[in-house]
Amino acid sequence: MASDEFDIIRRHFNRSELAFAVPAVPLAIGDDCALLRPSPGCELAVSMDMLVEGVHFLADCDPFQLGQRTLLVNLSDLAAMGARPLCFTLALSLPRSDAPWLARFSAGLARVAAQHHCPLVGGDLTASAPTVAGRVGPLCLCVQVHGEVPAGAALRRSGARVGDVICVTGSLGDAAAGLHILRDGAWPELATPLRERLLQAFHAPQSRVATGMALRGLASAAIDLSDGLASDLGHILQASGVGARVELDELPLSEALCAAVPPEQRPGLALGGGDDYELCFTVPPQQLQAVQARLAALGTPVSRIGEIVAGSGVQWRRAGVPTALKVRGYNHFDGGGAPT
Amino acid sequence: MASDEFDIIRRHFNRSELAFAVPAVPLAIGDDCALLRPSPGCELAVSMDMLVEGVHFLADCDPFQLGQRTLLVNLSDLAAMGARPLCFTLALSLPRSDAPWLARFSAGLARVAAQHHCPLVGGDLTASAPTVAGRVGPLCLCVQVHGEVPAGAALRRSGARVGDVICVTGSLGDAAAGLHILRDGAWPELATPLRERLLQAFHAPQSRVATGMALRGLASAAIDLSDGLASDLGHILQASGVGARVELDELPLSEALCAAVPPEQRPGLALGGGDDYELCFTVPPQQLQAVQARLAALGTPVSRIGEIVAGSGVQWRRAGVPTALKVRGYNHFDGGGAPT
């Protein structure tokens, strides 16, 4: 089905459920640029992600879930800075103009946009490859989210100090387990409700936006868990010039994960699986109680998993005793291989 | 060659020639978000473009020229709003980790970034397809530029009024002619210096940033010419609810274009060829002299090509007499076909 690119934008993207007006955006889709007006005294936080068919999602995935997830994982980066979402831009390279697919994809985006008051304000639409050629490239998405945060209040990776407590929100490894189910048909004997919970963790991660904003002024450093705790906590340690001790028995594991996965495979998923989009943050001990109170008020589960120490890298422990553990996050250029 | 994605970022992107510090960006590459601090009283102008191998550039193109062009065409969108460049983000989906290619690409970006004081501040790097699979997807780039413009001063598409003069900067059709040379080996008998000028118009368009800023407060509407004058002027007319009369004999054509292209093919290139990245703008007649003075001071050639009239669409004229002309811009989903 051939369709004009402006027509596709009008029908599927520049519609009121997705590209709704907000005061911070005086000019949106339809000009050379969108115009953004952050609140006085605020900085703009921006983050960009590219998602490629066959790398970040499967070719036959549900477009509604893809739309949801595309925006949620980007909002998670705003959450990790303590920023309030303002709006997002989207570039799409489409293998073909497929109206039902586009309608579902845009509905998934619109649901998350509405939940987070974060409208689509611009972007680009292009074909994946010349339609005159036989070959058609993969679907490729690029999203940039824009948020605002009072000047100086953003949560950075570099603020962790020796003695700080290390916390994570929610539970770890569920999304990675969900991806195993989706891709490999893993654990076919798992009860349907638990299976659905793991799949949902992959398709529609939380994006802890309100939690990130609540951590402003309390947390000393924060990151969102996209590549797995081992890799992402490593970024905080490196940026802050410190080390960490983490107690494996304190890692928050869900009922569904424990039902599905044998004990020996759980650390691999919880630490190296990625895609959880929970927050990992550090907090000075004297602020811990305030953090717990604020997060309880939001209904965000929070677990204390370790502490920041002098040095570098993570010392993994079990019942207080150091234990050898090799974990790594996903790397795009290492030739593949599952985390161990 | 396998290489870690963080290593690629460090070596080729997070380096001082490209990711240099500027006061408007208190936090750049290396955290969950970059932080931008526009000047007080300014709005942020943002524009995103996706470029796909085989659609927007050829697989074997020179990576330095690709890097230059990728950023230049995005800066052109800031120019069209009258915005001052602040910084840009870049997402890359790479078929492979090719150090010499990346070094050249990043050098092309760095040259334009330095010229326009517009550093790289963040983005994303991913593989085009799982490296374990045999198939590798095309290179895909996504750039978002960020500029600032005093609140209310941005040049929009919607401000053209009946009686306004229509102007364009530079000359039209050169980039389209350059692409014909590049892709089809057109006009092999053309003298080398002229041929080089047309190729250069395609590889390194001007990006009329200073010109766009100079038009603030004078031009009533503006757009940059990416799809061809016929299509892009149409956007101004539609957004402003007006029509236009354009005198074909007034279209600025370069010496190189006239030497290469027979007269009957020139309108097709000048109006429908695209890729010129010159500015088309409208200006109330009483401001025309001020515009000409400012643009002369910048050394920007400007041509008066027509005027805004009541109604809709463009009436093309030759020596003041209406003439039939069918021109269209590039459309990604219409099954191809050259403009006529």
pTM score, whole prediction: 0.90
- B contacts of A4 (beta carbons < 8 Å): 331, 333-334
A335:B2 CB<8 A = yes
Cα dist from A154 to A148, A151, A295, whole Å: 9, 7, 18
B335:A30 CB<8 A = no
Provide the chain A residues 274-303 that lie in CB contact (below 8 A) with chain B: none
B140:A239 CB<8 A = no
> Between A and B, how many residue pairs show a Cβ–Cβ distance under 8 A?
253
User: Is the pLDDT assigned to residue A97 strictly greater than 80?
Assistant: no
- A contacts of B125 (beta carbons < 8 Å): 332
- B contacts of A130 (beta carbons < 8 Å): 54-55, 336
- B contacts of A146 (beta carbons < 8 Å): 46
B128:A56 CB<8 A = no
**Which among A37, A125, A147 has CB closest to B332?**
A125
**pLDDT tens digit sequence for A47-64:** 999 998 888 887 788 999
B-interface mutation test, from A76, A142, A146, most B Cβ less than 10 A away: A142
Is the pLDDT higher at B53 or at A172? A172
**DSSP helix, strand, coil percent of chain A (3-state; round to 5):** 35, 25, 40
Closest C-alpha to A154, from A224, A76, A212, A74: A212
CA dihedral A25, A27, A28, A29 (to 10 degrees): 180
pLDDT of residue A19: 93
Please tell me the distance from the alpha carbon of residue A320 to that of residue A304, in angstroms, as a whole number.
Answer: 14
- B contacts of A125 (beta carbons < 8 Å): 332
**Which among B93, B135, B333 has CB closest to A50?**
B93
Q: Which residue of B has its CA nearest to A95?
A: B333
CA dihedral B264, B266, B271, B273 (to 10 degrees): 110
User: Is the pLDDT assigned to residue A139 strictly greater than 90?
Assistant: no
A5 in contact with B, Cβ within 8 Å: yes
- Per-residue pLDDT tens, chain B, 340 aa: give them: 345 778 888 888 888 899 999 999 999 998 999 999 999 999 999 999 999 888 888 778 899 999 999 999 999 999 999 999 999 999 998 887 788 999 999 999 999 999 999 999 999 988 776 544 455 677 889 999 999 999 999 999 999 999 999 999 999 999 999 989 988 899 999 999 999 999 999 888 888 999 999 999 999 999 999 989 999 999 999 999 999 999 999 999 999 999 999 998 898 899 988 889 999 999 999 999 999 999 999 999 999 999 999 999 999 999 889 988 766 554 545 443 333 3
pLDDT of residue A159: 96
A-interface mutation test, from B3, B7, B142, most A Cβ less than 10 A away: B142
**Residue A126 pLDDT class (50, 70, 90 cuts):** confident
Provide the chain B residues 308-337 that lie in CB contact (below 8 A) with chain A: 331-336
Q: Which domains does chain B have, with CATH numbers?
A: 5-150 (3.30.1330.10), 157-322 (3.90.650.10)
Q: What would the two tokens of residue B116 be?
A: 């326009």
A124:B27 CB<8 A = no
- A contacts of B144 (beta carbons < 8 Å): 46, 48, 89, 144
- B contacts of A92 (beta carbons < 8 Å): 50
B46:A332 CB<8 A = no
B31:A81 CB<8 A = yes
**Which among A5, A83, A93 has CB closest to B33?**
A83
- B contacts of A150 (beta carbons < 8 Å): none
φ, ψ at A107 (rounded to 5°): -65, -35
What is the least distance, in Å, from the CA of B11 to any CA of chain A? 15
Dihedral sign for Cα A279, A284, A289, A291, please. negative
**Which residue's entry shows tokens 């970040």?**
A56
**pLDDT tens digit sequence for A9-53:** 888 888 889 999 999 999 999 899 999 999 999 999 999 999 988
**Residue A65 pLDDT class (50, 70, 90 cuts):** very high
What size, in residues, is chain B? 340
Helices (H), B116-228: 174-184, 192-203, 209-214
B130:A336 CB<8 A = yes
pLDDT of residue A174: 95
Provide ipTM, 2 decimals. 0.89
DSSP element (H, E) containing B223:
strand B221-224
A45:B34 CB<8 A = yes
Closest C-alpha to B107, from B188, B201, B17: B17
Provide the chain A residues 110-169 that lie in CB contact (below 8 A) with chain B: 121-133, 135, 137-138, 140, 142, 144, 146-147, 149, 151, 154, 156-158
